[in-house]
Structure 1
Amino acid sequence: MIRRLSDYREVVDEAKISEIYRKGNKIADNHILHINSTYYGGGVAEILMHMMPLLDDIGIDVGWRSLVGSPDFFRVTKKFHNALQGEEITLTDMKKRVYEQTNLSFAKFTHIDHDLVIIHDPQPLPLSKFYKRKQPWIWRCHIDLSEPQGEIWEYLRGFILPYNLVVYQMDEFAAQGVSGDYTIMRPSIDPLSVKNKDLPDGTIEKYTQKAGIDRERPLITQVSRFDKWKDPQGVIKVFDLIREEIDCQLLLVGAMATDDPEGQQVYEEVHSLIKDRNDIIVRIGAHDIMVNAIQKSSDVVLQKSIREGFGLSATEALWKKTPVVASNVGGLPAQVKDGETGFLVEPDDYEGAAKKVMDLLTDEDLREEMGENAKQHVKENFLITRHVEDWIDLWTKLLAPGA
């Protein structure tokens, strides 16, 4: 069933729901468009999927289109993504040609006559170059740009400059050299979605059993795309240190994003590390109910990313009162308050991560205290209702500044 904004009264104050409806009325006559690179896989697509029906219910005409690209295009843009997070790249004319030609081709059959356009991440970034822009354009960047590789940033910056506004996840990602006109907008989760709503105990038991979990042993979990920046190999290193002290199990829940051609390779590397082990489980493509049950049943969620734009799987776990041990990178410190909702460690501190996980595994009172803090922190900061309101406020500034 399609959810309405009013359905969120069970988790958000009713007065706030009314306020969001009223704000939306100010821009209800406008037609707004989101463009990203995939309809499925990854946080951007998931956020948009849950947000579109709410905006429609509020009365705002908002559409969503996904860039059409070849495998070569997505191989190139994955290299761009990696370089924006600090990896070296050889920026050849061929890469530039594939990148720009794909955007040009898409522009030829995608007509944009909307009042405002939001472009997500680097894949469709050049689109503004191929239109006579008669409306505001926003670039919404979900990537950790704290240390971009210089050559790729210099190249992409030329496409960013014409945009009216840039939206980042964190102030730390607002790289120098682009117009100072930017805003910060944190991502969100949908608390009423299948992945995040409360489940009956029987349902949790059913799906954890299907996942192969031994309910008698402590469970450590990481939920992430199969991506080298999520460092699943490092998670296994941390787990091996914990196993020297505690009889427990590790569950790696992963998925493939359609715009990430490296996912299969990372999955195969992980699979090769765990052959013939019965204390590590890998689940690929787990559906939302199973992910929900796993996060709720986990004693600790480990998010040991090397780079991280935000990492919504950490927020999902916190919402379910599961403490998180996370790397002190990207958007994770905004979610994991060290010593309050979980612990932060440096990405290469395997022993430190193992110790923090063991502190939680051996102290039930600490887990419960952090779990309560975690849910409240998410409720106050990272729910979809706040995210919808953020967009409406921003669109109103651009479309109806006097309203």
Structure 2
Amino acid sequence: MLSFLRGWNRPRTLKARKSMLDLQANSTTATLANIAAKASTNLHEYKISSLSDSTALYLGIGGANNKNIAQFNICISDGVNPVHYLFREIEFPQNQDLSNPEVLKQRGDNIQNEIIECIDEFQKANDIKIIGATLLRPLLDSWGVTRLPEELWSKLDIVPFVLDNEKDVINYDFGPNSDVPVDANGKINLVNIDDYKGTVSKETWDVLMKITERLRDEQDLKIAFFNATPQGGGVALMRHAGIRLFRLLGVKCRWFVPFPDNDVFRITKNNHNILQGVADPNLRLTEDNKKTYEAWIKANVEKYWLNDVFRECNVIFIDDPQMVGLVPYIKEVNPACKILYRSHIQIRADLANTPGSPQNGVWSYLWSFIQHCDLFISHPVLSFIPDEVPLEKTVLMPAASDPIDGLNKELNDNEMDYYIGIFNRICAEQGTKNTLDPERPNIIQIARFDPAKGIPDVIDSYAILRKKMNDAGYPVEKTPQLVICGHGAIDDPDASIIYAQVMDQLKDPKYKNVVNDIIVARLPPSDQLLDAVLRRSYLALQLSHREGFEVKVTEALAKGIPVVAARAGGIPLQIKDGKTGFLCEVGDCEAVAQRMFELFDNPKLHARMSKDSSRLCTEEFWTIFNYMHWMFMASEIYEKGALVGNRRWIKEFWYEKYNYTPIQE
């Protein structure tokens, strides 16, 4: 066995978990809630005094259901011990006909609303935040409650775990084939299918149903996705939402990741940087690198996928250059399986086409695997596609975010305060003296700490802006702070290096007048944390030197936050210059600073851009639309054996097939 197989503990941190807090303790609270009747306390008279505002609180909901009385019991826990119980009874008319679905639904809605109101009032009365809840499915069914988990998420920002019975447990474990346990293997119920239906037009939803019926019912396809990491970066973000949607639609789909290896991820990150043209020009992919990578791929294949996963799949998507080594193994054991590769970074195709260049060395090696795939999916920028990729095998597709997950859900004022408080505590724990001032605006760039993200330009642009504002007579309290933050990724060893470089840059004396207003933070994987910090920002930056299609731009625009960005990669496809933000040439910090100054100096301009940003961020950049692309490609290529792409947008194909005209266009 290879050394990197021994002693390996897979990371347990997933997108569906709240911050770095362990919700495992919550699995006991549903049982505890069933004895809550012994400790009934008046909601408004009880005040928790032994907990700090940073204590993570969970709750379990139990109860009983009789013909004319429903009772619910809520046990609130700090993850170790119960700290409070709530008990309520709801009386219903004696002659209710519970066999009538409408009567049962109305009864369930009343119970659900009472529970939501009870928890909400308790949180407000005690100035606390509950982050997770456990519910029992049989009890919900007996009450006739249909949306309590989803309401806990959408209205109270509480992650709901739904257990089948009192002995059920919350399980974050990866499957025996290294399946990613999305939403704690389905125990987390954030949304239902109607929630997703509400994010798109009726016309779009109707086409989704047709695509789903073809793939799920007529073809009975088994689909798999492979990429390098379950958390961090746009691929994992899209996949969590997509698997959640597929589960609701009944589509047979699984998501697999390899066991991580630091040496391999250093090699693949170097490849990434070389292809983007941001690596040391002397850096090369070596023969030893190739041997290490191929040994890692072989070990994963033999341990997890060779004997069953590869054989049973009809369509496999490889959504990372890290995983292209899987292709020959899939072809060997299942020649009929269709393999589709997605290239989601900005490849310097001009350099990849140049013999002898570092880019050509990396690309030629990757292409030796990719050329055997049935389709090449690229971001919709033709300059990202090297010459070797056949025209007929290429389609274009942008990345997407999810409108109702933690990155984009609405947060009320109390929830915003809670997450901003967490953000400031994280900054303090990381040794950052600066924290967000509630009385001042802020500028933000959310991105991985990566050499392609242009973070030095962010700092320089901000310093120039502050000088402009000082020269214009702005008092300090009217000037903005700067926030640079982002999540890490398991497969990204550059993050610590770039973070250290950023902190060293700030030691330069030329930043002495602004350094105390610059906040740099590496954040844990809490989606709502990023959501809150972005929502309270006045404007966003995206000054990448290389970029595929940046979902953080989409997320900012959807929140009505104008974006000033570099004209890099796919970003110009996302921003309507002068309408939803401004585009500047890469590295032109003076131009970036001037555009930021205009947005601060002209509130009417900012208000207009803010309105246009949210209005023009259409459903095309959200989960439903994105997974219609994936599903259509799988279905079409399975049925016809090939999809002649000719470098067209994939949406054009299903627009034509289903006679669809998007209402936004």
* TM-score band, normalised by shorter chain: over 0.9
For residues 208-250 of structure 1, what are the alpha-carbon distances to aligned partners after superposition, in whole Å with 9 as ceiling and x for unaligned? Answer: 3543322322311000011111121221111111111233210
SS, match of residue 582 in structure 2: strand
For residues 143-198 of structure 1, what are the alpha-carbon distances to aligned partners after superposition, in whole Å with 9 as ceiling and x for unaligned? Answer: 11243422211222111111000101123222211222111111111110111011
Question: What is the CA-CA distance between 1:401 and the residue it aligns to?
Answer: 4.0
Question: What is the CA-CA distance between 1:346 and the residue it aligns to?
Answer: 1.3
388, 400, 406: which one aligns with 1:188: 400
Check conservation: 2:226, 2:320, Cα contact below 8 A.
Answer: no
Separation (CA, whole Å) in 2 of partners of 1:171 and 1:238: 27
Separation (CA, whole Å) in 2 of partners of 1:91 and 1:401: 37
1:285 corresponds to 2:285 = no
Aligned to 2:362: 152
329, 342, 363: which one aligns with 1:130: 329
Equivalences for 1:79-118 in 2 at 5 Å? 79-86=270-277, 87=279, 88=281, 89-109=283-303, 110-111=305-306, 112-113=310-311, 114-118=313-317
Aligned to 2:251: 60
Question: What is the CA-CA distance between 1:392 and the residue it aligns to?
Answer: 1.4
Check conservation: 1:129, 1:159, Cα contact below 8 A.
Answer: yes
SS, match of residue 278 in structure 1: helix
Query: Which shows bigger deviation, 145-154 or 191-200?
Result: 145-154
**Which residue type is aligned with residue 16 of structure 1?**
T
Aligned to 1:174: 385
- Pair 16,226 (structure 1): closer, same or farther in 2 beyond 3 Å: same
Aligned to 1:253: 485
Aligned to 1:328: 567
Check conservation: 2:317, 2:339, Cα contact below 8 A.
Answer: yes
Aligned to 1:41: 232
Q: Percent identity?
A: 31
SS, match of residue 220 in structure 1: strand
Aligned to 2:375: 165
1:12 corresponds to 2:200 = yes
**Which residue type is aligned with residue 36 of structure 1?**
N
Check conservation: 1:194, 1:288, Cα contact below 8 A.
Answer: yes
Separation (CA, whole Å) in 1 of partners of 2:569 and 2:369: 24
1:121 corresponds to 2:311 = no
- Pair 376,205 (structure 1): closer, same or farther in 2 beyond 3 Å: same
SS, match of residue 416 in structure 2: helix
For residues 350-369 of structure 1, what are the alpha-carbon distances to aligned partners after superposition, in whole Å with 9 as ceiling and x for unaligned? Answer: 10111111111222221221
Question: What is the CA-CA distance between 1:90 and the residue it aligns to?
Answer: 1.7
588, 608, 618: which one aligns with 1:369: 608
Aligned to 1:214: 437
For residues 367-402 of structure 1, what are the alpha-carbon distances to aligned partners after superposition, in whole Å with 9 as ceiling and x for unaligned? Answer: 221122222332243111110111111112112349
Aligned to 1:345: 584
Aligned to 2:214: 26
Whose radius of gyration is greater, 1 or 2? 2
491, 498, 503: which one aligns with 1:271: 503
Query: Which shows bigger deviation, 160-169 or 51-60?
Result: 51-60
SS, match of residue 230 in structure 1: coil
Separation (CA, whole Å) in 2 of partners of 1:138 and 1:346: 34
Question: What is the CA-CA distance between 1:271 and the residue it aligns to?
Answer: 2.2
**Which residue type is aligned with residue 577 of structure 2?**
D
Check conservation: 2:399, 2:550, Cα contact below 8 A.
Answer: no
Question: What is the CA-CA distance between 1:74 and the residue it aligns to?
Answer: 0.5
SS, match of residue 516 in structure 2: coil
1:74 corresponds to 2:284 = no
RMSD: 1.8
SS, match of residue 27 in structure 1: helix
SS, match of residue 223 in structure 2: strand
Separation (CA, whole Å) in 1 of partners of 2:566 and 2:630: 28
Check conservation: 2:229, 2:491, Cα contact below 8 A.
Answer: yes
Aligned to 2:416: 204
SS, match of residue 578 in structure 2: coil
Question: What is the CA-CA distance between 1:49 and the residue it aligns to?
Answer: 0.7
Check conservation: 2:378, 2:395, Cα contact below 8 A.
Answer: yes
Check conservation: 1:252, 1:283, Cα contact below 8 A.
Answer: yes
SS, match of residue 229 in structure 1: coil
Question: What is the CA-CA distance between 1:35 and the residue it aligns to?
Answer: 0.3
Separation (CA, whole Å) in 1 of partners of 2:446 and 2:291: 35
Number of residue pairs matched by the alignment: 403
Separation (CA, whole Å) in 2 of partners of 1:293 and 1:228: 26
588, 596, 608: which one aligns with 1:357: 596
Q: TM-score, normalised by structure 1?
A: 0.95
Check conservation: 2:260, 2:490, Cα contact below 8 A.
Answer: no
Check conservation: 2:199, 2:619, Cα contact below 8 A.
Answer: no
Question: Taking CA–CA contacts closer than 8 Å with sequence separation of 6 or more, which of the two structures ends up with the larger relative contact order?
Answer: 1
Check conservation: 1:37, 1:123, Cα contact below 8 A.
Answer: yes
Separation (CA, whole Å) in 1 of partners of 2:260 and 2:404: 33
SS, match of residue 322 in structure 2: coil
List runs of 5+ in structure 1 lacking aligned partners.
none
Aligned to 1:396: 635
SS, match of residue 491 in structure 2: coil
Separation (CA, whole Å) in 1 of partners of 2:529 and 2:462: 22
Question: What is the CA-CA distance between 1:21 and the residue it aligns to?
Answer: 2.1
- Pair 207,195 (structure 1): closer, same or farther in 2 beyond 3 Å: same
